[in-house]
Amino acid sequence: MKLLSYIRVWILIIVSWFMWHFYKRWTRDSNQRFMRDLGAANPYLARIRDWQQREMESTYSSQDNSGEVDLGVARVLHIDMLLNFKYVKDEVQFDRRDYWMTSQEARKRMRGDCEDFAILLMAKLRRGGFPDNKIGVVIVEGHAFCCVYHKPDDFMVLDNGYFTQSMVPASRLFPCKGKVPLYGFNFFEYWTYR
């Protein structure tokens, strides 16, 4: 019986290792492939472009974001958001199926769904001096969350509680949840993980 338990543990470790290495093959530096493969008709691409345009019109300020990634600061901002941001579906709040608020709208309301939480947290990280190329919003099937790239091949997941309330490396979280990142974006770029 004990031997069977050890075999199950080793199988889980091996499967997790293979899933993570398969996931790492996808890079975030694939904007050209994203555009070519998805085209302008993709609903996520259209939402990302629309949000980036509205965000730049409403809140863009040029600021020096040459700071470094400080996971302690990210943890404090994440906890603050978990305590103060209320989850409300778009259908209830806007009488629409899906609406991505700008960071300014989300800051005023302090309520929204997963991508509104992620967008506001990304904006707070940016105001905190995090470099634009180290923060973003990641979309998985049916969910979105904020991320902070702390290593070249891994990022920290800052979620609204759907997956986790703790800051967790993606390399540890995704094999357990069976989810794969699809798309990502920040204030200026978008990318795919395929």
Q: Residues 23-54: pLDDT tens digits? A: 444 444 444 454 445 545 566 778 888 888 88
* Per-residue pLDDT tens over the stretch 148-170: 999 888 999 999 999 999 999 99
Which strand (E) or helix (H) includes residue 186? none
For tokens 């978990």, the residue is 82
Strands 168-169 and 183-185: unpaired
CATH of residue 175: 3.10.620.30
In this prediction, residue 24 carries a pLDDT of: 47
Which structural domain range is residue 78 located in?
2-192
pLDDT score for 51: 82
Q: Work out how many domains the chain is built from and give that number.
A: 1
- The Cα–Cα gap between 122 and 115 comes to 10
- pTM for the structure as a whole: 0.75
> Residue 111 pairs with which residues in a beta bridge?
86
Query: Would you say 55 and 48 are in contact if contact means Cβ atoms under 8 Å apart?
Result: no
Residue 127's CB: how many other CB atoms inside 10 A? 14
Both tokens assigned to 98: 């899906």
